[in-house]
Amino acid sequence: MKIPLDRQSTEPVYLQIRDRISRLIRGGSLQPGDRLPSIRTLAETAQVNKLTVIEAYGVLEADGLIHARPGAGYFVNAEVTPSPKLNSTFAPAQEVIIPSDQTESFFDLYAMSAQVRQQPGAIDFSRGIPRVDGLNDLQRIARRAVGQMPGDLFRYDFPQGQTNLRKQIAQMLVQQGLDVSPEHLIITTGSMQGISLALQHYIQPGDWVIVESPTFHGALAVLEELGARVIGIPMAREGMNLDLLEQYLRSHHPKLIYTISTLHNPTGLTTSLAHRQQLLALAEHYNCQILEDNAYEGLNVEAVPAPIKALDCHDRVVYLGTFSKTLSPGLRIGYMVVTGDHYSPLLKRKVLCDLHSSAISQAIVSEYLASGHYRRHLNRGRSSNLQSRNVMLQALEQHFPQEASWTIPNGGLFLWVHLPADLNVQSVCQQALVQNVLVSSGSPFFLDQQGYPAMRLSFSHSPEDIERGLAVLGHLIKEQLIRPQPMLSQLKPLEAQTRSA
């Protein structure tokens, strides 16, 4: 089999192989039951590493196109799963809604999610965490890491984090296009701590801060605590609306822009290189800092542009990353990339907060990275997330009303559903909970819980749970649309949201 490869392309080689074989199967050139070349043969003919072929076959398997038979090789599936419609119809009018008095907060949701997870048979679409696959590897490596830990790591550790781990993370970030050395890194206790430290450092009560609307509700909670005045710039398919951004940069002189440029929470959208360049140019022009929180970086299926931090020549961007979404949230290991004069004051804040992040967790992550398992683990996670995303897209098409539209994220853990204007989403969520399905309405991701009716749905679940849970949600939504609830909302035309402390 000949696979033409473009080695200059930004598309990874394993995806080029996947695309080519996928076309051959869907076009009928490869028939159900046909055997694919062995991993070694294809690696030789395409002149690629065997691991690249394994990755390509892994994604094709996740796409439902091929399967492995132990000892016999890979074969085309008898029944190819129809691919979901991949052109997103997501195009919400950016309207402001006066909130109902039954609102949810970050804290309520977090507590409720932890509680519901204890109930047998519960399906929790509200959480943005990975499925616990590959736990055996992690347990084995954790035992080894702790067993090998030198005695001094059981004492107090460096505030900026262990040198070895910082070196490994710097190497990983260089591959993402960031020019980073270990001296630019501070290991944090999850990226939640990075958000808190950076915002405490840059923001005084009463300062204006710009966020995407919607955005990560954890960051909104920190901003509220700090007494910041927040402007929510509507988020479209391309990212934050840059015309509106410039308008508010000019009129309000905000101190900071908080952005999630890759696999945005909650929409799952990723901005283009051009959008990143323009956003940075605007921040430069209006003398504003950027906090780039890419918690889901690494979970992308197709290539993504380098982070905004990679374009930053004037120390204007602080970049946050985490192992919570790729490896384990319980380890609580994140990191911040800080260049220039802000490094020392941020490190001081870190010391005042918790002295240093867990030495044991750092040693486990470091050992995991050193073992070479991380790359394989990421690839497995990407394939299984892609498969789950596709199952969810099909279930949405099957069960949700036609008026609903949704984003089609390039990987990650969740997607965002824009629901009909007259739907009482809170009431749907409450009724779903009675049927053991936990879902987060869109409101906590908007300032003051305003915004258009929406839901964030995590797809890191088994196909059976996705199918069952979405059938419940779709039924409740359709039922409510037939028998409408009292209107909670009053619509206003497109504008940015602002919230004062």
Ligand X SMILES: Cc1ncc(COP(=O)(O)O)c(C=O)c1O
Give the residues lining the site for ligand X (CB under 6 A): 128, 190-192, 216, 218, 260, 265, 293, 295, 322, 324, 329, 334
Closer CB to ligand X, residue 324 or residue 407? Answer: 324
Closer CB to ligand X, residue 58 or residue 190? Answer: 190
Q: What's the 3-state SS for 282-326? A: HHHHCCCEEEEECCCCCCECCCCCCCHHHHCCCCCEEEEEECCCC
Supply the minimum distance, in Å, between the C-beta of residue 369 and ligand X: 16
* Both structure tokens of 288: 């504003």
Distance CA 424, CA 301 (A): 34
CA dist 223 → 173, 233, 308, 394, 490 (Å): 28, 15, 22, 37, 26
Closer CB to ligand X, residue 127 or residue 382? Answer: 127
Torsion of CA 377, 383, 385, 386, to 10 degrees: 160
Closer CB to ligand X, residue 90 or residue 216? Answer: 216
Supply the minimum distance, in Å, between the C-beta of residue 314 and ligand X: 24
Torsion of CA 342, 348, 352, 357, to 10 degrees: 90
Closer CB to ligand X, residue 76 or residue 290? Answer: 290
* Both structure tokens of 299: 């979970």
Distance CA 62, CA 54 (A): 12
Residue for token pair 């006066």? 98
Q: How many CB atoms lie within 10 A of CB 243?
A: 7
Closer CB to ligand X, residue 160 or residue 324? Answer: 324
Distance CA 335, CA 295 (A): 10
Closer CB to ligand X, residue 331 or residue 488? Answer: 331
Supply the minimum distance, in Å, between the C-beta of residue 322 and ligand X: 3
Supply the minimum distance, in Å, between the C-beta of residue 216 and ligand X: 4
Supply the minimum distance, in Å, between the C-beta of residue 55 and ligand X: 26
User: Using CB atoms within 10 A of its CB, is residue 327 exposed (0-12), middle (13-18) or buried (19+)?
Assistant: buried
Supply the minimum distance, in Å, between the C-beta of residue 458 and ligand X: 10
Supply the minimum distance, in Å, between the C-beta of residue 331 and ligand X: 9
Closest residue to bound ligand X by CB: 190
